[in-house]
């Protein structure tokens, strides 16, 4: 795939009949390995015959487990061996663009948004560990009123006008602010699919089935 390595923006007002300015976009060919994420489990044919709904439950749990690892890879993959190169792994380190005395966690997140914006990549989201977001939502003022959190609120989590996504793929005390729509893309080579086999290993003679789910992406 092609990866942007530089952008010179020469857009400008142009007088009638005048030559338009030329901007340049520098692209470099880059290679990202297509990674397979998969796992399986075994179940007896008897229990699936007796409890038909169990099949869909097993499929759901296997899919959930797959998505957890996918999320971890997309964020924290090392890029080494059979691992994706995660967004957090590639992200620039946080450096406060302006000095703020006694900066709180909320201040730090705002400064991270500013850092990204000054780099011409205005953020469209924040990613936090659930514990850190809970700590922010539970902040109260001197009267005991919640500053951000609303126990009866139904709106999606947001901070500084950006949506907040919580995931345990992020370590406690870390965060990610990024222009995800502009700077990241997932290439799905094989969407998550479930396959069932009765002739794996000695499944047939033991009345077992193997349920496998896998996907391939870069």
pLDDT score recorded for residue 55: 86
pTM above 0.85, yes or no: no
pLDDT at residue 137, as a whole number: 95
- What integer pLDDT is reported at residue 143 of this predicted model? 95
Q: Specify the pLDDT at position 47.
A: 86
86-129 confidence digits (pLDDT tens): 999 999 999 999 999 999 999 999 999 999 999 999 999 999 99
The per-residue pLDDT of the chain, averaged, comes to: 93
- Tell whether domain 35-188 is in CATH 2.60.34.10: no
Contacts for 171-176: CB closer than 8 Å, 24+ residues apart: 171/129, 172/129, 172/131, 172/132, 173/129, 173/132, 174/88, 174/129, 175/108, 175/109, 175/112, 175/126, 175/127, 175/128, 175/132, 176/75, 176/87, 176/88, 176/91, 176/126, 176/127
* Domain residue limits, the chain: 35-188
């Amino acid at each position: 795939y092609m990866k942007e390595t530089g952008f010179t923006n020469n857009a400008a007002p142009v007088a009638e009949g005048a030559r338009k300015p030329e901007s340049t976009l520098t692209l470099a060919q880059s290679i990202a390995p297509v990674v397979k994420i998969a796992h399986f489990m075994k179940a007896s044919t008897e229990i699936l015959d007796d409890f038909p709904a169990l099949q869909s439950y097993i499929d759901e749990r296997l899919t959930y487990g797959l998505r957890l690892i996918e999320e971890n890879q997309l964020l924290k993959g090392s890029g080494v061996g059979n691992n994706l190169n995660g967004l957090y792994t590639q992200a620039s380190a946080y450096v406060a663009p302006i000095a703020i005395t006694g900066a709180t966690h909320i201040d730090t997140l705002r400064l991270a948004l500013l850092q990204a914006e000054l780099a011409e990549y205005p953020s469209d989201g924040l990613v936090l560990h659930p514990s850190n977001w809970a700590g922010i939502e539970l902040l109260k003022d001197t009267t005991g009123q919640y500053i951000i959190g609303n126990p009866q609120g139904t709106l999606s989590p947001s901070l500084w006008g950006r949506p907040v996504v919580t995931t345990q793929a992020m370590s406690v005390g870390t965060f990610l602010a990024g222009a995800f729509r502009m700077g990241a893309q997932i290439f799905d080579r094989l969407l998550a699919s479930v396959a069932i086999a009765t002739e794996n290993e000695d499944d047939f003679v033991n009345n077992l089935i193997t349920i496998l789910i896998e996907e391939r992406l870069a």
